């Protein structure tokens, strides 16, 4: 399967992220595994922002953030805000040969994942106090997001995205 680097491709991968977010763990999985949940939306948006900066629109990310708000029963705008910042950072990463520098990319990802968790925690303090389980889940969620990042890169780089090497940035 090959997806184009356009809004359809972005939307489909974000829908996939949405589905992965909504999927229940199988009944035989240990309950502790629920803490080890990556931030799929953040990873996908970050991937598109860093790997397809000329095509990926921040508006798509913001709209999907709206969906994730509804999904997680979080205040409207929270995930949109986080994803906007993610896309902003992803678009402005230092580049070499039209590719983001790996070290900066990973460092930025780490900071963004931590940022997202902290912002969510702060905002959710106003909704429910204390936030149920979030403090415990934050480190595991960060680790899961970083670990899953490599899977996202492999899948989107090799299996899904149509090679657009003919696109010129000059």
Partner 1 sequence: MATDARKRFSTPTTFVLLIFLSIALVITDLSGQFLGVPRQLTTWVTNGLYSGINAPGRWLTYSSFYLQDRAQLLESQRAREREYQDAVVKNRRFDALARENSELRQVLALVQRSPDLELVTAELTATVFEPGRNEILINRGKSHGVLDGMAVLDATGIYGQVVESLAFTSRVILITDRRLAVPVVVQRSGTHALITGIGNSSELVLEHAEITADIENGDLLVASGLGGVYPHGYPVGVVMSMEPDASGVEMRVMVEPLASMHRRTWLLVVVGGTTSEVAEE
SS3 93: coil
- From the list 76-84, 103-111, 128-136, 141-149, the region that binds partner 1 by CB under 8 A is 76-84
Burial zone of 155 (CB within 10 Å; 0-12 exposed, 13-18 middle, 19+ buried):
middle
Q: Is 123 in the site for partner 1 (CB under 8 A)?
A: yes
Q: Is 126 in the site for partner 1 (CB under 8 A)?
A: yes
How many angstroms separate the Cα of 132 from the Cα of each of 47, 61, 123, 136? 30, 27, 13, 9
Q: Is 169 in the site for partner 1 (CB under 8 A)?
A: yes
- From the list 22-30, 129-137, 138-146, 157-165, the region that binds partner 1 by CB under 8 A is 22-30
Round to whole Å and give the CA distance between 160 and 31.
32
CB nearer partner 1, residue 80 or residue 100: 80
Helix 134-154 vs helix 40-51: crossing angle, to nearest 10: 40
Q: Is 166 in the site for partner 1 (CB under 8 A)?
A: no
14-27 b/e (C-beta count within 10 Å ≥ 16 → b) = beebbeebeeeeee
Minimum CB–partner distance for residue 34 and partner 1 (Å): 14
Q: Is 88 in the site for partner 1 (CB under 8 A)?
A: yes
Round to whole Å and give the CA distance between 168 and 113.
31
Subset of 30-69 contacting partner 1 (CB under 8 A): 53-59, 62, 65-67, 69
CB nearer partner 1, residue 124 or residue 152: 124
Q: Is 117 in the site for partner 1 (CB under 8 A)?
A: no
């Amino acid at each position: 399967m090959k997806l184009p680097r356009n809004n359809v491709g972005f939307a489909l991968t974000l829908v996939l992220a949405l589905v992965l977010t909504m999927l229940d763990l199988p009944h035989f999985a240990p309950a502790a595994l629920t803490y080890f949940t990556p931030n799929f939306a953040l990873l996908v948006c970050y991937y598109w922002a860093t790997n397809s900066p000329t095509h990926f629109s921040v508006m798509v990310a913001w709209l999907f953030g709206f969906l994730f708000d509804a999904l997680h029963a979080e205040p409207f705008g929270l995930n949109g805000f986080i994803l906007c910042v993610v896309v902003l950072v992803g678009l402005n990463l230092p580049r070499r040969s039209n590719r983001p520098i790996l070290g900066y990319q990973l460092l930025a990802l780490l900071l963004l994942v931590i940022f997202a968790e902290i912002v969510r925690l702060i905002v959710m303090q106003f909704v429910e106090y204390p936030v149920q389980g979030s403090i415990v889940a934050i480190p595991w969620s960060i680790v899961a997001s970083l670990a899953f990042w490599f899977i996202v890169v492999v899948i989107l780089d090799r299996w899904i995205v149509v090679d657009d090497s003919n696109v010129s940035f000059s």
